[in-house]
Structure 1
Amino acid sequence: MVANHFFDGNCFSCQSPNMKLSFWRRRKLRTAITSLFLAIKLGALLSMAFYIFHANKQLVVQFAGRVMTEIQRDTSTYILTLFDGMKKLAEIEQAFVLKQSDVSVENDALVRYMFEAIKSIPDLTIIHVGSPNGSLIALFSLLNAANPQHGDGPLPESYKYALLFVDRFTEVPTETWYYLDKDGRRAGKWVAPAVTYDPRTRPWFEEVIKTKKQYWTQVNTFPIPEKEGITFATPLFDSNGSMIAIAGADIELTFLSKFLLKKETTPNGKLMVITKKGQIVSSSMPEAADLSLLGDSTPVFNTAYQSYSGTGNSFPIFTVSGTEYLTIVAPLGFQEWLLAIAIPANDVLGGVFRIQNSIYLFIFVIMIISTVLVTIFARRISAPITRLSKMIDRIRDLHLDNKIPTTSRIREIFEMQSAISAMQTAFVSFKRYVPTEIVRSLLSRGKAIELGGERKMLTIFFSDVYNFTSIVEGITIEELTPQLAAYFDAISRIILEHQGTIDKYIGDAVMGFWGAPLEVKDHPFIACDTALLVQETVNKLNSAWEKEKKSPLKTRIGLHTGTAIVGNIGTEERMNYTIMGDSVNLTARLENANKIYHTDILVSRDTYDLVHERYLMRPIDIIKVKGKEKAVEVYELFSLKTNAPQEKTELCTLFEEAYRLFHDNKIDQAREKFMKLRKKFPEDVPTGLYLERCKI
C-alpha cells in the first residue's frame, strides 16, 4: 500500500497551468541542439571551403620538412639528455649505500644527495633506493603537485619535498613521511598507521632482483603518486659483489606533455610521442589521453602512424576531414618511441598567399557569430535545467517544503520536471515511515537498504507516561488523540533537535538513541540535556492541560550508555532501523524503575561515570537486571550543577552520605542520617524506602 501511494500516477496533478504546454509547441532537446550545431557547423565549413584553393606544395613541403626535422631532433636530444641524467643520478647513489642498512633516513649523506639530485632536475618526480627486504627511502618533488595531501589533510605551502621511509629492518615495519622545505630542511613529519607501499611488488624491483642489471620500465602507473610515467632502476653492490640495494628514479609523463606544449611549431601544429605499437605516451593535444591507442579520436596521427608502419614513409602528406596535413614520424632513440608531428598545410603558407589574413578574419567573424548564437540558445536551454538541478539538490538534502516552478518548450525538460515533482511527493511520504537521518544517509551513499547490523557505543533513551492505563480509561479516544499527539510531538522534536534518532513508539513509550546512524560527539551529555528538557517541556504541557481540566501526562525517563547492536533488522521485504541487546533491556528497566522510587529520570552507572561532573545526581539503588549476572547501580538525574537549587544540592549530598553508609553495612549510622533526611525532606520517597530497609 505504501509503494502504491509513493508512485501513484496522480502525482502529476501537481503540475502548474503554466507547465501544461500543448504538444505541438514542445520539441525534443536532442533535435534543438543537433539542428543548431549542424546549422552553425555547416555554415562555417562552407565559408572556409570557398577560400581553400591554394597550392604551392613544393615550398610547403620543404619548409615544413625543415621545421619538423628540427623539432624532432630537439625533442630527441631533450629526452635522451634527461633520461641519461636520471640514469647517472641513480648510479651515483652507489657511493652512499655500502650495506643494506644504509637504506635509512639516518643516512644523512644519502638524503642530502637525493635532495640535490631531484633539485637539479626539475622534471624528476621521485628518486629512491630500496633494499631487497622491502625497505625504501624515496624523495618526492611537490613543486608541481596540485593541492598535495597526506594522512592528516592538505600540506602547508612551505612543504616542497616529501621523504618517504619504509623501514622493514625493525620487527614491526613502519612507514614515515618527512616533509622538507625548499632548502631541504625537515619541516614536518607524519607516521602512517600502516605500511601501504612495498617496492618489491613493482616491476622495476622484480626485474633488477631477477637479472641484477639496469632496467628501464615501460610506461606504467606509479602507486605514489597515481600518475603515469617511467622508471629507471639499477642494482647496487657491496665490496663482495653482493647486491645490497636497488636505486632508481621516476619521471612522470606530464614533463613530456609540458615540453611538447611549449615546443613551437605552427599555430595549429600538434606533437605526439607514441610507442611502436601505436600507444600514446604523451601529446600536446589535451583531447588525446595518455596510454590510449591511436584511433578515431586522433585521426591525423593515426593515419600518419599507419602509413609509417605499413610503408616506412616517415614524411607522409594526406588529407583528413578536408584539411591537408604535413606529418613526420621518426624514432626518438629511446624505448622504440616515435615522435609524430602534424601541421596543417595552411599554417605554413602565410607569406605565400596574400589572402591569408582575409581568411583568418573571415573565420574569426564566423566564430564570433557562432559563439553568440550558441550562447543565446544554450542559455535558453540550460536555465530550466539549472533550476531543476537545484530542485534535485534540495530533494537530496530532504528539504521538501519548497517547489521551484519550471516551464520549457522542450519536451524532455518538461517531463523531467514532472518526474521530479512526483519524486518529491514520494519522498515526503517516505519520510513519514523512515527516520530522516536514515533517508539522508542512504541518499548520500547511493545504496539500497540492506539487512545487517554492527555493535556501537550508544546512549539509549526510554520514556513512558506514568499511570497511562488509568488515564486512557477515564477519557474518550477523541480527547486523548490530540493530547497524545502533542505529547509525542514535543518529545520527538526535542530528541531530533539534539541529534538523536527516534527508534520507535511503543504505546505511550518513546525509544530513541544517540550515536547512530551518524556519529554524535559527547552523546551521553546530549542525552542528559535532552531528558531534562523533555521533563521541563512536558511539565509546561501538563500545567496547560490541567488548566483545561485535562489529565496530565507525567513522564518517566531511563538513560543508559553502552554497547548495542544497531542496524537494519527484519526481512528483505520489511525491516526496521533499530537497536537490540542487553543495553536496550537495561534502559527499559531503568525507565520502569522510576515508579518504585517515584523519580523522573534514572540513569545507569555507565552514564553517570561519563557525565556526573556536569550534572546534579544522586545514587538511588543497586538493582538486578534480567540477563545480567552483575547488579547495576542507578542514579537519579536532577539538573545541571550550574543552575541546581540549593535545596536539591543539599538533598543529594546528605542522601549520598546515608546511601554509602547503608551499602557499607553501617546500618545504624545510615538509619540516623536517613531519619534526619526524613525530617528535612519528608516527601522524598527513596529516603522512606531506605528507612524501611534499615528496620529489616
Structure 2
Amino acid sequence: MKRYRPTLRLTIGLALSGLILITSLLLAGFSYFSTRDTLLQFSKDLIDQNARVVKEQVVGYLGPARSGAEMTLALVRRGMVSTEDFARTEEYFFDFLRVHPSVAMLNFGDTAGNFVMVKRQPDGSLSTKRIRVEGTRIVQWKHRDPGASLEAVRETITDPDDPYDVRTREWYKGAVAAGGLAWTGVYVFHSDGLPGVTAAIPHLNGKNELLGVLSVDVGLVDLSAFLSKNIRVGSSGEAFLLDEAGQIIAVRDRASLVLTGPDGKRRLRKLGESPLAPIAALARQEAVTAYLGEVFSRPGTAPLILRYSVDGVDWVCTLLSIEVGASRTWVAGVLAREDEFLASARRANRNTLLIALLLAFFALIAGLIIARVISRGLQNLVEESDRVRRMDLEPCPGRSPFREVDEVLGSFESMKVGLRAFQKYVPIRLVRQLLEGRQEPALGGEVRTLTILFSDIKGFTSISERLEPLELARQLGDYLSVVTRRIQDRQGTVDKYIGDAVMAFWGAPHEVPDHAFHACSAILEALADLDRLQPEKPFLADFHTRIGIHTASVVVGNFGCEDRLNYTVIGDGVNLASRLEGLNKVFGTQVMLSEDSAALVSDRFVLRRLAQVAVVGRTKPVTVSELIGEVSSVPEDRKAVVRSYEAALDLYFRRDFSGAVKRLEDLLATTPDDAPSTWLKGRCEACMETPPAPSWNGVITMEGK
C-alpha cells in the first residue's frame, strides 16, 4: 500500500489551525469538566435539600394525627368527651377537623360495632356518618356545604344496606393488637378511593378492658399536592414517597397513584409500575433495591445519592428515609435530569468550541495562503517529476521565481532531453513501467501468453538497390512510422526493427485484454493508412507488406548481459510467427494467422482457412488462415470467394482432387487474381498426376524458412 504523504501547504495550514484548535479544546474541556463537577455537586445538594424538605413536610403533616389521637383519648378518659354520647363525640370530631385541615377523618368504634365518623370531603365540606346496631341497624350520612356548621345539614341519607363493620378494619385490629398507638400501612380509603394512613389507639376502661378504638385518618393526597407545588428541581424534576410495602403513596401527579384491578379492587402502584419512566427505572437499579431493603430493616440509614440512565438520558436521584412510627418507615425520593444542571456548562462549552473552530478556520486559511507561497515552487518540481514519470517529456512551460527551484527545473529539462532520446531505443511502455516501479531492469523473464507479429516488405532488396541510402532511409522511416503508430495505438510493443522488418507483440510489459484482436486491428489499420497515403507518398505503393501473426505462451523479459539488455520475447511461438510471415510468399497472401490466433478473432474478422502446414523446426502441423478484414467491412462477393475456397480445400483433404479443381476453376473464372486459389489448384493437379500415398493427410511440409 502506498503511504500517504501530506502536502507542505496542507501541513502548514493544518498545523496552525490544529494548534489553535487543540489549545481551545483543552481549555474548553478543562473548563467544562471543572464546571460540570461543581454543577453536579450542586445538583446533588439541591436534590438532597428538596428531599429533606419532603421529609420535614411528612413529619409535620402526620404530627396532628398522632397528637389528635392522643389528645382525644385523654379527653375521653377525663370524661370531657363521652364515647357513649355519639352526638357530643360527633361535635368534638367536627370541631377538630375544622382546626386541623391535614386530618381527613376522625373515627370511633366500640366493641359492639357502633361507629361515629366525621370525614373531610374533596370539596372541603365535612360529612358525618353514624352506625347504631342496637335493635334495628341504622346507617346514616349527613352532608353539608363547604364551610357550613354542624347543624347546617344539606342532606341526610339513610343506608340500611351498608355492610361496614368497624371491628373488621385493619386500623381497629392493629390498635387492639398493639395495646397502644398504632400506625397502619398506607391503603386506599374506602370512601374516596385515595391513599391515606390511620393512627389508631385503643380506649380501655379502668379494668383495662377494651371499650373501643379511636382513630385519626390522614389523607395523603395533600402530600402529592405539596410535591407538585413546592418541589421544583428544574423543569424535569420529580418527587415521590414510598412506603415499606414498596407502594408509591405520593407523587406530583396524584391521578396516577391508584390502580383498579380486574376484580374492581383499588390498590396503590408499586415503584416499578410508575407511568413515569425515570421513577419506574429506579426499581431496576441494584443500588436502590439494596438501599430499600436496608432502610426498612434498619431505620436511620444514611441517604442514597445515585446517577443512572434512562433511554440514554442521565438522571440524579436522592432517596431519604422517614420514620413515621414504630416499625413504620417511608422513603422520600427526589430526582432530576442531569442536563438540567449541565445545560449552562454545555452551552458555554459549545460557544467556546464554536469560537475555537472559527479561529482554527481563519488559521487554516492564513496557513494555506502562507504555505501556497512557499510550496508553489516545490509544486512545480513535483509536477515536472510526475511528467517525467508519465514520460511526458515536453519542455518546461515556465520558470520559478526561486533560484534553487529554478536550478532544479533546469536539471529536469536536461534529464528530459536524455529521456526523449532514450525512449527512441526502448519501448515507451517498458520505460514507464521501470519508472513507476522505481527499479532497475534485471536479467530474466516470465511466461506469458502473447500475440506476436512479424512484418516484412516484399522485394525490399530490389528497392534498396535502386535508391540512394539516404532516400531509402527516409522512405523506410515514413513507412515504419505508419506501422509503428498503429501498433502503439493498439497497445502493442514494438520489439525491434530488423531492416525493413518489424517485430511486435501484445500483452507485455502491461497486460492487454483481447490482444489477438488488437494485433489484427492494428495491422489492418496500418495497411489502410499506407493505401490512403499513396497519393501523397507514391513510393509506399512499392512497400508491399507481408505479415505473420501467432498467439502463444512465450518467455518475455530482459535478455542479454548485465551491461546491455534487450526487452524481447523468445520461444517456439516467436519462431512460428516469423515462419507465418514467410509463408505469405507461398500462398500469395498478405496477412497470415495461426490457428491459435484465428480461434480468438474468427467471430469478428473474415478469415480464409488456407491449408495445414508443417513448418521447419516443428513436427506438429498448424492450420494457417488469411486475414481478410473485419466482418462488417468485407463485401459479400469476397466472402463468397472465401466460402468457395474453403469448400475446395475440404474436397482436397478428402482426396477428391478433381472435384476441388472443378470448384477452383469456377472460382478463378470470376476472380482470376486470387493467388491462394491458383496455388491450391496447382496442388490438386499435382496430386492427380501423381496420386499421394494412402497415409497422405494433406499437410504441406515447408522445407525452407
Name the larger-Rg structure.
Answer: 2
Scaled by the length of structure 2, the TM-score of the pair is: 0.46
Scaled by the length of structure 1, the TM-score of the pair is: 0.47
